[in-house]
Structure 1
């Protein structure tokens, strides 16, 4: 006798729906875990083509996060001839970080002739992922709004962005962040774009198409997360969320070294004190 859903009782049909839903959810979860593991373990080329332009995106928080980030940029011997274009991402209402980014560019973002050019950087503003004392009931909606704005920044479609000509794509080459809530949206958005670009590339290869050459010619949307110096023995909330997402996770205390999201993922790397 052929199988028919019409012959099932209500409870049997409900059981079948539950089994299918669990199977489907487990399949999606396995795909996500595998894709994150593979993505995090991909080793990008250590050398770029001589003379190639590099687009750096820096996520600034408020107060301490911004001070730490700009100090770390100073300590890494920031060279505007290497990071030829910079995008500073700040949250709405954070005028402090925007002014600090302008002051940093005025001091360090000079050309080889000693002149600072405002065309070599931009400051973009996105909605806050969660405001101080905001209700947890409304936080998901503001986080989604922030995530969408961050996607537009990563795709070069933010109204404040004016990327000069000569860059292969609007995607930033490197994303640098140290922990504000907006960083979770930025890094998750970078993974989201890379995942779908990878799917598009696989589909193009299956159908014999030659697309996405501008993206695959050089690594894009690589992310580096630096845990705050104040986190001595435990990760911050942003750090816990970004541990499986960031391509490279740096910590400033030995007790934080060697952590990983799950088996097969990269471990956190002890980089020493970067802010003192």
Structure 2
């Protein structure tokens, strides 16, 4: 195969991938979130942050139907001990859950330049987790840990490897502006929820249902 033929092949593949990405984004922006599962429950990933993020998300988990959203896999940063304790306390009466730890993409006060390598490291750990678990839905609410997780899920969906929907709930402490995580995930999350009415003007796709946490 000549170099010209290889370049044509590569260009064709890239164009097909781009069309697939645009199709998925169009579907996200123009249709209701559809959740279809080939099994009894919805395989669910919940991404815990630290401190307030974990508390808020676990409050949301309490309102979920555990029979519908199971099995549940919690994603926790590898240096986040408090979230692990809170998770076990919240799930004390349940058995259909598990958890795994991943590296933080960026630690507090870490420089943005050095966070590039740590983010890439996080991606390499997340890809086999997401592909192996094959979630139907991901719930997250703002910690930086969820960005590489959701990006991987979106890419694998575009590549027909999983069929996952992303639900992002902006933290209640974000009253007037979106978090950095929110600004990123508003571009491709299937459902984007804010908890203050004024934030609907800061996100072109935000849904507002009042205070959730």
| TM-score category of the 2 structures, normalised to the smaller one | 0.7 to 0.9
Deviation digits for residues 230-255 of structure 1 (CA, Å, limit 9, x no counterpart):
11111000000111121110000111
Tell me, yes or no, if structure 1 residue 132 matches structure 2 residue 108. Answer: yes
Q: Which residue of 2 aligns with 1:79?
A: 65
Deviation digits for residues 81-118 of structure 1 (CA, Å, limit 9, x no counterpart):
212211000001101111111111104x2xxxxxxx3x
> 2:164 & 2:186 partners in 1: Cα distance?
16
Kept in 2, the 8 Å contact 1:55–1:174? The answer is yes
Partner SS state of residue 72, structure 1 = helix
Partner SS state of residue 145, structure 2 = helix
Q: Shift of residue 150 of structure 1?
A: 1.6
Q: Shift of residue 153 of structure 1?
A: 1.4
> 1:241 & 1:46 partners in 2: Cα distance?
23
Point out 4+ residue stretches in structure 1 off by more than 6 angstroms: none
> 1:71 & 1:187 partners in 2: Cα distance?
21
Q: Shift of residue 123 of structure 1?
A: 1.0
Tell me, yes or no, if structure 1 residue 246 matches structure 2 residue 209. Answer: no
Kept in 1, the 8 Å contact 2:21–2:158? The answer is no
Kept in 1, the 8 Å contact 2:33–2:191? The answer is no
Tell me, yes or no, if structure 1 residue 90 matches structure 2 residue 33. Answer: no
Q: Which residue of 2 aligns with 1:160?
A: none
C-alpha RMSD over aligned residues:
2.6
Q: Which residue of 2 aligns with 1:166?
A: none
Q: TM-score, normalised by structure 2?
A: 0.83
Tell me, yes or no, if structure 1 residue 143 matches structure 2 residue 143. Answer: no
Q: Which residue of 2 aligns with 1:186?
A: 149
> 2:46 & 2:79 partners in 1: Cα distance?
17
Q: TM-score, normalised by structure 1?
A: 0.65
Task: Summarize the Cα distance change of 1:237–1:45 in structure 2 as closer, same or farther, 3 Å threshold.
Answer: closer
Q: Shift of residue 43 of structure 1?
A: 3.8
Partner SS state of residue 186, structure 1 = helix
Task: Summarize the Cα distance change of 1:142–1:46 in structure 2 as closer, same or farther, 3 Å threshold.
Answer: closer
Q: Which residue of 2 aligns with 1:273?
A: 211
**How many residue pairs are counted as aligned between the two chains?**
199
Segments of structure 2 that go 5 or more residues without pairing to the other structure are 1-14
Equivalent residue runs for 1:97-176 within 5 Å: 97-107=83-93, 109=94, 117=95, 120-156=96-132, 170-176=133-139
> 1:270 & 1:53 partners in 2: Cα distance?
27
Q: Shift of residue 53 of structure 1?
A: 2.3
Kept in 2, the 8 Å contact 1:36–1:244? The answer is no
Task: Summarize the Cα distance change of 1:46–1:242 in structure 2 as closer, same or farther, 3 Å threshold.
Answer: closer
Tell me, yes or no, if structure 1 residue 38 matches structure 2 residue 14. Answer: no
> 2:119 & 2:24 partners in 1: Cα distance?
21
Segments of structure 1 that go 5 or more residues without pairing to the other structure are 1-26, 110-116, 157-169, 199-214, 261-266
2:54 equivalent among 66, 78, 81: 66
Q: Which residue of 2 aligns with 1:233?
A: 176
> 1:37 & 1:104 partners in 2: Cα distance?
34
Radius of gyration: which is bigger? Answer: 1
